[in-house]
Amino acid sequence: MTEIEGLPSDVFILVIPFYVDKSYLQSGDGSSQISATINAPENNYADYAAYALVNGKLHIFGGDSDSKKIARLDDCTLNELTVRLNEEREIGHAALSIENGTKALICFGWSREYHRTCEVFDGSTTVSTFSADSTHYYGGLGLYKNQPTSVGCWSERHQKAETLSATGWTALPDHPKRISVHSLVGLENQSLLLIGGRDWGNDGGFQSGIWQLKDENWNQIGELLQADYYGSAIYIGRSIYYFGYTSKAIQRLDFNETEDLQNVAQIGNQPGNYYLPVLFQTVSDYCI
Ligand X SMILES: *[C@@H]1O[C@H](CO)[C@@H](O)[C@H](O)[C@H]1NC(C)=O
- The contact set with ligand X (CB under 6 A) reads 100, 188-189, 256-260
- In the complex, the smallest distance separating the C-beta of residue 258 from ligand X, rounded to whole angstroms, is 4
- Distance separating alpha carbons of residues 133 and 131, to the nearest angstrom: 7
Residue 46 · residue 77 · CB < 8 Å: no
- In the complex, the smallest distance separating the C-beta of residue 146 from ligand X, rounded to whole angstroms, is 10
- In the complex, the smallest distance separating the C-beta of residue 189 from ligand X, rounded to whole angstroms, is 4
- In the complex, the smallest distance separating the C-beta of residue 221 from ligand X, rounded to whole angstroms, is 10
Rounded to a whole number of angstroms, the CA Rg of the chain reads 17
Residue 54 · residue 101 · CB < 8 Å: yes
By beta-carbon proximity to ligand X, the closer residue of 216 and 260 is 260
By beta-carbon proximity to ligand X, the closer residue of 101 and 205 is 101
- In the complex, the smallest distance separating the C-beta of residue 262 from ligand X, rounded to whole angstroms, is 6
Distances (CA, A) of 140 to 23, 96, 149, 150, 253: 23, 9, 8, 6, 19
Residue 183 · residue 231 · CB < 8 Å: yes
By beta-carbon proximity to ligand X, the closer residue of 51 and 235 is 235
By beta-carbon proximity to ligand X, the closer residue of 184 and 187 is 187
By beta-carbon proximity to ligand X, the closer residue of 204 and 222 is 222
- In the complex, the smallest distance separating the C-beta of residue 80 from ligand X, rounded to whole angstroms, is 26
- Distance separating alpha carbons of residues 144 and 163, to the nearest angstrom: 8
Nearest to 8 by CA among 194, 187, 241: 241
- Distance separating alpha carbons of residues 82 and 125, to the nearest angstrom: 10
What's the gap between Cα 51 and its chain centre?
A: 7
Residue 211 · residue 163 · CB < 8 Å: no
Residue 266 · residue 241 · CB < 8 Å: no
5 by DSSP, 3-state: which? Answer: coil
By beta-carbon proximity to ligand X, the closer residue of 78 and 192 is 192
